[in-house]
Chain A
Amino acid sequence: MKKISRRSALKTSLAGAAAISAPMIVPSSVLGLGGKNTSPNSRINVGLIGNGKIMAGHRPYHLAADEVQVVALSDVKTWMLDEANTQAKKIQGEKVDTYEFYEDLLARDDIDAVVIGTPDHWHAKIAIDAFKAGKDVYVEKPMTLTIEEGKIMRATCARYGRVLQVGSQQRSEWAFRKAAELVRNGYIGKVHTIAARLGNFAPPTQYPETPIPEGLNYDRWLGPAPWEPYNELRIKGDYGGGWRRFWDYGSRKNGDWGAHHYDIIQWALGMDESGPTHFVPKGYEGEEYQYFTYADGTKVIRGYDGLGHMIRFIGEEGEVRVSRGGKIDTTPASLKNAVLKTTDQRLYVSNDHRLDWLNSIRSRSQSICHVGIGHRTATICHLSGISERLGRPIDWDPKTEHIVGDERAAMWETRPRRAPYHQVV
């Protein structure tokens, strides 16, 4: 028995002895193997839709994964397909088929699953079409552009028995899981305040119209969003702005980082099937910060001092502060060393978000950030955005899933869709 190496191996692989996890599929890239070892017949055939900035992270992973065969790529910016296919050849050994229209990719019988890395305003339509075509889905966060889309996605996913993972990948980081488990199990007492740091984009703007470049289907890029004159900066994939800056294609920072941090807050509070009830925008009656509250009074503040962390949970008996990169601090400090009891509520363990999705496809099980969770988290993103846009508080009933007491605000649960990109069903 090589005990020391075992302890070391576990610690090294887990980035923290308290975080024990177990992948059920081990990609060749993880094992350090050069090629694919799984027989082609048992690989999951994957199509990648939207090959811009975010897909640059997903694509090499799937190209290298032992149990995955990337078989097709799609994008309305056709030059991106060339770049993506060059990478496909380099990693997977051969080029794959490319499509301007995702429908052509979904029509292929040999594709089991798709990764959707488009801007937010296309997520729901493509995902729903994928469910109907019998494909499993990994969709970037936030899962939707509107609350109504989320309801339809949830129902369609269940109807077709499909597996969906939302790319709120902090659930697959051990430090966030540890933080959530400490909060869930009362190690800091009753939580009354939570602070989340989302950052800020510059306000949306209108750029001067410029010629649409060759190789871009701009009408298709806009899809259901309102027509606006083309400018490269409007559609650019840019974590500091680009399309993320505009309400037409997302929920700005509430959707961008909120889809990560609100997701962890929901997890920690055990609210994955519910949500907050009251949303207040920054500036309303002098409020220094945007915030929302749950029915029990727990207050979530956007931007409040996180003491150097992304999320800060403040309870009656202590604090948990957590960030990416396995960074977790507690008050008292030794709390992060607590060995959870077998009677404590333990949370779903995943240390690799994409791998968790592949595992769920194999076992036909719910992934760690499944459609129901993704919908509830996205709902918070959207409600925060609606409140910000209207400049007034809104009340939400998480049971009926409707805005209450404000008929006009309720109109924002959905958005008008530009013809011919009609409402998805």
Chain B
Amino acid sequence: MKRYTRCLLYSVLVLGFQGTSWPNHHEDKLAGIIDRFSNEDTALQYEARRELASYVADGTAPSQVNGAEKVTKELLAYIKDAKVPHEAKKYMVRDLARVGTAAAIAPLSKIMTGSDGLLAEAARQALEQIQGGNASSALKKAIDNAKDDDQRRVYIRTLANRAEQVNAGYFKRGLKSGDAVLAHESALALALLRDAQSVKAMEAAYHSSSGELKIVLENELLRLGGTSDKLVVEIQQNAVVASNKQAALVRVMSSGHGESTDLLKAALSSADSALRATAIRLALTHGKQSLVRNMVDSLSSDEWRIVLNALFSFAGKGAEDLALKAIEEGDVGVQIQALRALAIYGGNRSVDVLLGYYSGKDKALQQAAAYAIERMPGTPLNNRMNKLLKSESEDDLALGIELLAHRDIPNAKGRLFKFINGESSKLATEALKTLSTTANEEDLYKLLFLARRSEDPLKKTITGMLKKVASEIGSLELQAKVAAL
């Protein structure tokens, strides 16, 4: 028997024998659950925890009228009962974080500043979540009486995370207070409030701040929609943290700020390769591709990859030209990406390039070419395949047959059967190989018919292929017929 099953059975027995220890609540279900927290076996305590969770969930379901109010009241009654096991209180206080109503705020505030660290932290978390009531004044009192800066920071952050507009003034003053802990937490608090006045206060503080506070403000101001374009430009040029220059450039380009093109040009010529990479990506996705086009002769391999990733921004032949140029660059990573790009942007001039790499010796480039051959839209590739399939050259014919495994062109199956029935055993074998990856049940029946009519070596070749493929995709009826060949 698995341990948890044993635990469940045991706990039922324990519940039966223990009866109840809570005379005030002995008739209710919750009392029974709390009883089980007294068990010394921690696993059985956890069974009670699961029942408590279910009790709280069921009691606060949308179908329950005033469910949260009732459950909050019940939980609070047990939490203040000295005889209730500590483990039960721990989970009940935690549950209040999700179901507690404003009625819980005063008792939780008392627990938060009490001597039981575990319950205090659970109460603090609950106070962070429960809306309404007068939690703010209790938290401010706790802030004033905190034993050290760590505890003070925690209480301030709790107040901040409640994101109550009524505390905006408190945090604005805190930001200017000169108190490092309060100023830092106030910056985060105002960012959570997000209103225009809070953002304005943060902008003002940004100019006069330094060190950690400036970094916090820089991060938060970039996050907030209300930050002025002027300040974002300032951060783009003078950010303390390098990655914030990139983030600010993203923001400037998105907002279409008047200085965006100048900032973009500066970033494109920056010595910071990460900033330059961001600038190339942004130029290509914000209609400034001409700035990048002027750079193509000096692009690094990684920069080529960024360009290839945004080829859509180069209309018409421009995209195909760039992809073909990238293939000439020589870096295998760039070549592969460029070949794949031809699946979308390739035209007449790309067909021979693709077939060349498909027929080459480099496996990675073959795969990239095959990827494009499968997907390239329009007629240029189909025309070329038709030409190959009508060629006098057996090698060309074989290539054409092989490509039919990758690309569905009109009458492809009919052509393959024609080669199977043809004079060249080499081409018949090639056609069978292609069919082995593209055939359906109907095709396999045709092959069965052919096999019955044929003589060796063709019969042997078809039979071998049929036995392998029919077992994978054929019906049971077909498999039986193939087995009888």
Contacts and interface: CB of A to CB of B under 8 A. Distances in A.
A389 B57 contact: yes
Contact of B4 (A132, A205, A208, A412): A205
B332 interface: yes
B405 interface: yes
Given A349-B371, A363-B337, A364-B306, A342 B3 contact: no
B368 A333 contact: no
Given A3-B395, A132-B243, A363 B308 contact: yes
A189 interface: no
A359 B333 contact: yes
A10 B126 contact: no
Interface stretch (B198-206, B451-459, B472-480): B472-480
A419 B68 contact: no
A14 B439 CA distance: 19
A418 interface: yes
Residue of A1, A156, A202, A339 with most partner-chain B CB within 10 A: A339
Interface string B65-79: 001100000000000
B473 A336 contact: yes
Interface in B21-59: 42-43, 45-46, 49-50, 53-54, 57-58
A388 B309 CA distance: 42
A165 B277 CA distance: 19
A161 B366 contact: no
Contacts of A405: 62
B50 A22 contact: no
Tell me what chain B mostly uses at the interface: helix, strand, loop, or mixed: helix
Interface stretch (A23-31, A46-54, A80-88, A251-259): A23-31
A235 B312 CA distance: 48
Contacts of A343: 377
Contacts of A412: 98
A391 B376 contact: no
A54 to B, nearest CB: 25
A337 B437 contact: yes
B399 A3 contact: yes
Interface residues on A, range: 35 or more
Contacts of A411: 97-99, 129
Contact of B374 (A337, A340, A422): A340
Contacts of A340: 374, 408
B274 A134 contact: yes
Interface stretch (B149-157, B256-264, B289-297): B149-157
A202 B3 contact: yes
A400 interface: no
B154 A420 contact: yes
A95 interface: no
B247 A422 contact: no
Interface string B421-448: 0000000001001000111110110000
Nearest to B157: A422
Given A205-B4, A408-B99, A333 B157 contact: no
Contacts of B45: 206
B309 A364 contact: yes
A342 B274 contact: no
A17 interface: yes
A418 B402 contact: no
Interface stretch (B116-124, B137-145, B166-174, B315-323): B116-124
Interface string A72-91: 00000000000000000000
A333 B474 contact: yes
B439 A334 contact: yes
A423 interface: yes
B265 interface: no
Contacts of B358: 6
A203 B7 CA distance: 11
Interface residues of B, number: 106
A159 B222 CA distance: 8
B466 interface: no
B367 to A, nearest CB: 4
Residue of B188, B280, B337 with most partner-chain A CB within 10 A: B337
Nearest to A21: B367
Given A206-B43, A412-B98, A134 B161 contact: no
A399 interface: no
A342 B376 contact: yes
A148 to B, nearest CB: 12
Contacts of B407: 339, 342
B327 to A, nearest CB: 13
A131 B305 CA distance: 21
A332 interface: yes
A56 interface: no
Contacts of B125: 416-419
Contacts of A22: 336, 339-340, 364-365, 367-368, 370-371
Given A342-B377, A407-B62, A3 B398 contact: yes
B219 interface: yes
Contact of A364 (B60, B278, B395): B278
A58 B98 CA distance: 37
B121 A425 contact: no
A10 B367 CA distance: 7
Residue of A23, A156, A209 with most partner-chain B CB within 10 A: A23
Given A3-B398, A26-B332, A389-B53, A416 B126 contact: yes
Interface in A25-46: 25-26, 42
B247 A160 contact: yes
A216 interface: no
A307 interface: no
A225 B365 CA distance: 48
27 contacts: A1-B395, A22-B368, A22-B371, A23-B364, A24-B334, A134-B274, A159-B250, A160-B250, A161-B246, A204-B46, A206-B42, A209-B42, A227-B118, A334-B439, A334-B440, A337-B440, A339-B405, A339-B407, A339-B438, A342-B407, A346-B375, A390-B57, A391-B57, A411-B99, A416-B125, A419-B121, A419-B124
Given A339-B405, A389-B53, A390-B61, 8 more contacts: A7-B433, A20-B367, A392-B57, A406-B62, A408-B61, A408-B67, A416-B97, A419-B121
Report, nearest first, the 7 A-B pairs whose CB atoms are least far apart.
Answer: A134-B243, A416-B125, A22-B368, A363-B305, A334-B440, A206-B46, A17-B437
